């Protein structure tokens, strides 16, 4: 990866892949048109792009076909809607692989040396590690500051079968007990008056369905379950057809 030239990558064919590429080239020499049908995602697009680059020497038309499922209906539909390779997806995958090497290949050896084997910190984990470190430094640098809250609960006599309770909060910042007691004494001698009443309707929408992370967080905070226990229980529920698939990052 040429970091001085806009992080331009240089690709080389792995030694054990020459046979596969030769097979593709031989097959391509026997047809009139070439369709790239790799997976319909960022990585699949990049794989298709690499194959297309290798097949340019054949001088044959190359088109991209997106297959969402391997059925006759889907294949026939996709072949009628051929397209070019999506350069944006290809570039996204290039960036992902570059980050893996520039970040992951640099940080992982350090993590292994200092924290143990079978650990890694690539483009995803390294960001989380930084967030944890930043938060830990905030905690270490925290300066505790005393403060007091003063609240008044006020009851008022109302007609029979009606009840009323009012709540007031002292909003000025109080930083020590002496001031807090003085404010309390002043309020004990005060008369409280309601000067405004506002009525409004509040809507509360249901929470979205669980995804893996929110399931684990809820089980941990409400039931004190370890992640392993949560996932084992979820697996048993899934095996019994009581829940949908539990390893997912989408509410769909």
- The predicted-structure confidence for 190-228, as pLDDT tens digits, reads as follows 888 777 778 899 999 999 999 999 999 999 999 999 999
Which structure tokens are listed for 36? Answer: 């790239």
Distances, alpha carbon 62 to alpha carbons 57, 58, 88, 159, 166, in Å: 11, 10, 18, 85, 75
Backbone angles phi, psi at 36, to 5 degrees: -90, 120
CA 73-36-20 angle, 5° bins? 120
Q: Which residue has the tokens 């944006």?
A: 88
Burial level of 140, CB count in 10 A (0-12/13-18/19+)?
exposed
Cα dihedral value 233, 219, 211, 39, nearest 10: -50
Model confidence over 11-51: pLDDT tens digits? 999 999 999 999 999 999 999 999 999 988 899 999 999 99
pLDDT at residue 132, as a whole number? 93
| Residue 161: pLDDT over 60 | no
- Give the distance, in angstroms, between the CA of residue 41 and the centroid of all CA atoms in the same chain: 18
Asked if the model's pLDDT at residue 162 lies above 70, the reply is no
User: What confidence tens digit (pLDDT) does each residue in 51-106 have?
Assistant: 999 999 889 999 999 888 889 999 999 999 999 999 999 999 999 999 888 888 88
pLDDT above 80: residue 250: yes
Q: What is the mean pLDDT of residues 97-125?
A: 86
What local confidence, expressed as pLDDT, does residue 92 receive? 94
pLDDT of 160: 61
Q: Which helix (H) or strand (E) holds 169?
A: strand 165-169
Positions marked active-site: 245
Helix (H, G, I), strand (E, B) or coil at 219: helix
Tell the residue number behind the tokens 């008369």, with chain if given: 191
Predicted confidence band of residue 166 (pLDDT cuts 50, 70, 90): low
pLDDT of residue 120: 80
Q: What is the average pLDDT across 169-192?
A: 87
Cα atoms in the Cβ-side hemisphere of radius 13 Å centred on 197: 4
Residue 141, Cα to own-chain centre: how many angstroms? 28
């Amino acid at each position: 990866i040429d970091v001085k030239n806009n992080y331009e990558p240089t690709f080389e064919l792995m030694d054990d892949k020459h046979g596969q590429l030769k097979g593709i080239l031989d097959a391509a020499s026997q047809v009139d048109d070439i369709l790239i049908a790799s997976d319909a995602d960022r990585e699949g697009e990049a794989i298709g792009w690499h194959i297309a680059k290798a097949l340019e020497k054949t001088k044959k038309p190359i088109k991209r076909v997106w297959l969402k499922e391997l059925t006759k209906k889907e294949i026939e539909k996709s072949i009628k809607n051929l397209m070019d390779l999506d350069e944006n997806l290809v570039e996204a995958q290039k960036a992902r692989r570059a980050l893996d090497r520039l970040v992951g290949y640099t940080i992982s050896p350090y993590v292994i040396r200092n924290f143990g084997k079978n650990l890694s910190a690539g483009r995803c984990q390294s960001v989380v590690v930084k967030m944890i470190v930043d938060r830990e430094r905030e905690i270490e640098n925290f300066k505790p500051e005393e403060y007091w809250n003063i609240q008044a609960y006020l009851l008022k006599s109302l007609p029979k079968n009606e009840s009323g309770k009012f709540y007031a909060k002292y909003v000025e910042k109080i930083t020590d007990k002496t001031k807090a007691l003085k404010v309390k004494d002043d309020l004990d001698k005060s008369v409280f008056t309601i000067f405004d009443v506002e009525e409004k309707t509040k809507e509360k929408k249901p929470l979205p369905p669980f995804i893996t992370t929110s399931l684990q967080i809820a089980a941990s905070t409400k039931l004190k379950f370890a992640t392993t226990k949560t996932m084992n229980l979820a697996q048993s529920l899934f095996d019994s057809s009581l829940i949908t698939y539990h390893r997912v990052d989408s509410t769909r």
